[in-house]
């Protein structure tokens, strides 16, 4: 213990490092920890969307996504391991096809607002894109241990799914907004559809 009575052993991360699986110590801003942090943020946002009024059908899709994100986080915490499965990627593809089938093509830029559940899905999508950039950086830094992972295609398609779910929520509530020209005109999709 130090002079303040605080045990240094209980606060190993005070030096800016943390542990991956197997006890390997890395800097908290290492590419692995940056990616794991983005997964945590994404999973938390999806949890918030689940807690909002998103409907039981979307709640199921988002809950399954949370399970897959835990697998992705586990994979990232153990470099060289493959935990995220082809079945997860196939599920996201299937859900994306399902939800896009009921949406009209966007007639402009979809604005990230509307219902709280939709806004959370839009924010989750933006965080998913951040995660994707972190994964690209990680692959550049450690190509060998990332070689057989499905994480990049999974995250890329998940961001599209989150966008489709956000649009679905807003269209159900008749609140989808489209920017026809940046800063010029915004209208409800329900009036233009």
- Closest-CA residue to 161 (of 72, 86, 100): 100
- CATH topology for 9-192 is Hypothetical Protein Ta1238; Chain: A; (1.20.1200)
Residue numbers of the chain with a pLDDT score lower than 70: 1-13, 15-29, 180-193
Q: What local confidence, expressed as pLDDT, does residue 145 receive?
A: 75
pLDDT in tens, 61-108: 999 999 999 999 999 988 878 999 999 999 999 999 999 999 998 888
Domain boundaries, the chain: 9-192
Q: What local confidence, expressed as pLDDT, does residue 17 receive?
A: 57
For residue 147, give the 3-state DSSP assignment: coil
Pairwise CA distance, residues 192 & 18, whole Å: 52
Other Cβ atoms closer than 10 A to 58: 23
Q: What local confidence, expressed as pLDDT, does residue 99 receive?
A: 97
């Amino acid at each position: 213990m130090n002079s303040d009575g605080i045990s240094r052993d209980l606060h190993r991360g005070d030096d800016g490092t943390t542990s991956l699986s197997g006890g390997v110590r890395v800097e908290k801003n290492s590419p692995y920890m940056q990616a794991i942090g983005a997964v945590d943020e994404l999973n938390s946002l999806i949890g918030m969307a689940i807690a909002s009024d998103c409907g039981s059908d979307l709640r199921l899709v988002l809950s399954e996504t949370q399970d897959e994100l835990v697998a992705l986080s586990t994979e990232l915490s153990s470099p060289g391991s493959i935990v995220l499965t082809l079945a997860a990627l196939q599920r996201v593809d299937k859900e994306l096809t399902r939800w896009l089938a009921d949406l009209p093509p966007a007639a402009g830029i979809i604005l990230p607002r509307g219902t709280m559940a939709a806004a959370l899905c839009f924010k989750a999508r933006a965080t998913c894109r951040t995660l994707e950039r972190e994964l690209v950086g990680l692959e550049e830094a450690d190509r060998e241990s990332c070689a057989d992972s499905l994480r990049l295609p999974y995250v890329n398609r998940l961001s599209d799914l989150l966008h489709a779910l956000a649009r679905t929520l807003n269209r159900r509530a008749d609140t989808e907004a489209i920017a026809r020209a940046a800063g010029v005109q915004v209208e409800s999709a329900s009036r233009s559809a």
